Amino acid sequence: MKRDDTVVRPLLDLRHIGKRFELAGGRTVHALADVNLQVDRHETLGLVGESGCGKSTLARVAMRLVPVSEGQVVFDGDDITTQPRRALAARRARMQMVFQDPFASLNPRLTIGRALEEPLIVQQRGNATERRERVIAMLGRVGLRADVAERHPHEFSGGQRQRIAIARALMLEPELLVCDEAVSALDVSVRAQVLNLLLELRASFGLAMLFISHDLAVVRHMADKVAVMYLGRVVEFADRESLWRQPRHPYTQALMAAAPTPGARVGGAAKAVPPTLAGDVPSALAPPSGCHFHTRCPRATERCRTEAPALRAVDGAHGVACHFA
Ligand code: SF4
């Protein structure tokens, strides 16, 4: 999308991001291509698409957990694309991540109190008493009792562990929280509780969020703006109301047709309609020519097989990458 430098700068600005992975035998996976997205302060950008579309790779690129192949990652006006590790460590205090599997992100040998205190120690914040008070206060903010600090990760359920992971991510009071399928592994009964907790914390901490999920209902619940990804590219971008009022890309329309009915509660029993998306996502090792979606698109023409559509504005900030949108 076209950038307007006269408006307030975004907190996270991903500019023309490309990411390639080189495999054995000289093969190359094009995981991301020319992705342009911005997250403003206090705003949640939802990122949705099927498994393998590049959502998690984009999250890791944004956090600089993996290097960028092309483009720029700009945080609060600073280009951090090639920033050295030491400078990046200070920046990381302002941008934190919550992963799908909280158990993997918590050291099983550390007590919860120690795990939460660790970011404060690394960033040299406060003395031992102050850090301890902050740990107890943060456990309270995520709905856990103070005695949780003395226990270990294996003693908790998945939902409790995700609350602990969220508490740890917020210990340094970041401005940006990147949530990568943060509720996907949870039972439906606790999913809504954790989502509502994230909404509460977003409001009270004034967070911006990059919220990644394959679940459209979850993204609709959480996001102000939504980007739909397919095979490493953004194919549709819009504010939430505009997207659900009039999805314009055939892929978004198919995802919505396959999603639970709009009235279904997030985390509740979902009444699904039959999916209309035929086939699997093609391999990123050999993506289809032209529009990557043409092998599954009911509206594909000969032009789609040879010419890749650019993401273009069709209605204000609503952007679509389709020749016929
Ligand atoms: Fe379908 Fe063609 Fe549009 Fe791609 S460009 S989404 S194949 S109609």
Residue 281 CA, ligand 1 centroid: distance in Å: 15
Q: Where are the domains of the chain?
A: 9-94+177-259+280-325, 102-171
**CA atoms of 166 and 146, how far apart (whole Å):** 16
The whole-number pLDDT of residue 263 equals 42
Does this model's pTM top 0.85? yes
The whole-number pLDDT of residue 305 equals 97
The CATH architecture assigned to 9-94+177-259+280-325 reads 3-Layer(aba) Sandwich (3.40)
Residue 31 CA, ligand 1 centroid: distance in Å: 20
The parts of the chain modelled with pLDDT lower than 50 are 1-3, 5-6, 262-275
Counting Cα atoms < 13 Å in the Cβ hemisphere of 204 gives: 10
Q: Which two tokens stand for residue 275?
A: 């999916």
Q: In what order do the strands lie in the sheet with 78-79?
A: 28-39, 12-22, 70-75, 78-79
Cβ of 304 closer than 6 Å to ligand 1, yes or no, is yes
Nearest by Cα to 54 from 94, 14, 111, 2: 14
The whole-number pLDDT of residue 261 equals 52
Nearest by Cα to 99 from 65, 69, 150: 65
**CA atoms of 50 and 38, how far apart (whole Å):** 21
- Of 253, 301, 314, 324, the one to substitute when testing ligand 1's pocket (max ligand atoms within 8 A of C-beta) is 324
Cβ of 235 closer than 6 Å to ligand 1, yes or no, is no
The whole-number pLDDT of residue 113 equals 98
Summarize pLDDT for 271-282 with one digit per residue, the tens.
433 346 777 889
Nearest by Cα to 240 from 254, 258, 251, 256: 256
**CA atoms of 6 and 78, how far apart (whole Å):** 17
- For residue 208, CA distances in Å to 44, 224, 292 come to 6, 10, 31
Cβ of 294 closer than 6 Å to ligand 1, yes or no, is yes
Nearest CA to ligand 1 atom 4: 291
